[in-house]
Amino acid sequence: MTEKKEIILTGEGMQKLKDELEFLKTVRRPEVSEKIKIARGFGDLSENAEYDEAKKEQAEVEERVQVLEQMLKYARVLDESEIDNDTVGLGARVKLWDEEFEEEVEYFIVGTTEADPMNNKLSVESPVGKALTGKKKDDTVTVMTPGGEVIYKIIDISR
């Protein structure tokens, strides 16, 4: 049997997963169950598109519940004392100077589970996250991204 990899999350990330699981169990399951019940009332299940769709939705909800339960089983919240303010790593907030656009940007370095680039949460395993990891304030970092080469100067590192 393979050993499961520990999932390290921020406190916010852990809460988000717990909230999603609770929503699926207390809201989505009953909604889908009601859809199935209503669709059964339409008669012949072999040609009942509403029933088929509701069963498909039920399978998706149950699959996501299992995934979340598995993730939470192996998840651990990153302890603030583990975050080093001198170097970039998981849990760090990093202010950068983007050389090309001549603007300041800020990223929060998170685990892959919490990554949300649209909200400036970058995975520690993303190209930018990897390039920044272990670097210090005032270091300049060149990153090969899908959009091309990007050069950042680290302005500040915080929790």
106 plus 152 within the same structural domain? yes
Distance CA 113, CA 93 (A): 17
Give 90-128 pLDDT, tens digit per residue: 999 999 999 999 999 999 999 988 999 999 999 999 999
Domain span holding position 17: 7-77
Q: What is the pLDDT of residue 58?
A: 97
Residue that finishes a domain, picked among 55, 77, 99: 77
| Same domain for 71 and 35 | yes
**Domains in the chain, number:** 2
Q: What is the CATH number of the domain that holds 70?
A: 1.10.287.180
| SS3 (DSSP) at 92 | coil
* Whole-number pLDDT of residue 25: 97
8 Å CB contact between 127 and 144: yes
pLDDT for 10 equals: 87
CATH of the domain at 111: 3.10.50.30
Return the exposure string of 2-39: e unless at least 16 CB atoms fall within 10 Å of the residue's CB, then b. Answer: eeeeebbbbeebbeebeeebeebeeebeeebeebbeeb
Q: In the beta sheet, which residues pair with residue 106?
A: 95
Closest CA to 86 of 159, 157, 154, 140: 157
89 and 70 in a common domain? no
- The per-residue pLDDT for 48 is 82
pTM of the model: 0.75
Sign of CA dihedral 139, 144, 148, 149: positive
Are 142 and 149 within 8 A, CB to CB? Answer: yes
